[in-house]
């Protein structure tokens, strides 16, 4: 029993040391996108830059994102509580009220290290639907998408990318 404990403790020390070394190394992205450790290259906010909506009426705008090839991010509703969900945070501004944000359902994904486990993820392009009302005029919708990008074998640290959309309410 003492030998088993020593082996387990030794293995944990080795695992902790490996985790520390790996933590400081960026996950290689396809095409060398993060050779300088650019975790933001994993997901891009594509568009829109500007939208026109009716003033003082409920409207929906679509926010388009793309996950880099070979990667996935957890959906807004991951299958386990220890997984980091995709979240959108927006800055409150006077005259612009975000009432809700709808996320698409995730796609089932079985990682290579646990093929029987099904994860809920986003890959490729996905769209969030932001519901809002605005007073007449031009407003800046700013926020950030927080996510954790992974490949088939490992994950990068959580990261946030900014979004910015000019909302013109007439």
pLDDT at 15: 32
The pLDDT value recorded for residue 110 is 80
The two tokens of residue 14 are 């080795």
Pairing verdict, β 87-90 and 137-147: antiparallel
What digits encode the pLDDT tens for the residues 42-68? 999 999 999 999 999 999 999 999 999
Residue 41: the pLDDT is 83
Q: What is the reported pLDDT for 39?
A: 61
User: Could you tell me the domains of the chain?
Assistant: 2-169 (2.60.40.1250)
Share of the chain above pLDDT 90, in %: 62
CA distances from 20 to 15, 17, 34, 89, 141 (A): 9, 5, 19, 30, 38
Name which residue leads in pLDDT, 131 or 34.
131
pLDDT range class, residue 114, cuts 50, 70, 90: low
* 18-22, 84-88, 125-129: segment of lowest average pLDDT: 18-22
Lowest mean pLDDT among 27-36, 50-59, 76-85: 27-36
Quote the pTM value. Answer: 0.75
Q: Which residues face 83 on adjacent strands?
A: none
- pLDDT tens per residue, range 90-111: 999 999 999 999 999 999 988 7
User: Which position has the higher pLDDT, 86 or 35?
Assistant: 86
């Amino acid at each position: 029993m003492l030998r088993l404990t020593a082996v387990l403790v030794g293995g944990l020390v080795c695992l902790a040391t490996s985790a520390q070394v790996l933590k400081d190394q960026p996950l290689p992205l396809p095409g060398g996108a993060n050779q300088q450790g650019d975790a933001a290259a994993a997901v891009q906010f594509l568009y829109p830059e500007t939208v026109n909506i009716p003033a003082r009426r409920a409207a929906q705008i679509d926010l388009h994102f793309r996950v880099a090839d070979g990667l996935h991010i957890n959906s807004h509703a991951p299958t386990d509580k220890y997984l980091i969900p995709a979240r959108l945070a927006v800055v409150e501004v006077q005259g612009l009220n975000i009432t809700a944000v709808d996320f698409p359902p995730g796609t089932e994904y079985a990682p290579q290290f646990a093929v029987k486990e099904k994860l809920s993820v986003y890959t490729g392009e996905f769209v969030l639907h932001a519901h809002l009302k605005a007073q007449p005029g031009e407003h800046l919708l700013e926020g950030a998408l927080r996510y954790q990008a992974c490949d088939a074998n490992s994950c990068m640290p959580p990261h946030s990318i900014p979004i910015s959309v000019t909302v013109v309410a007439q």
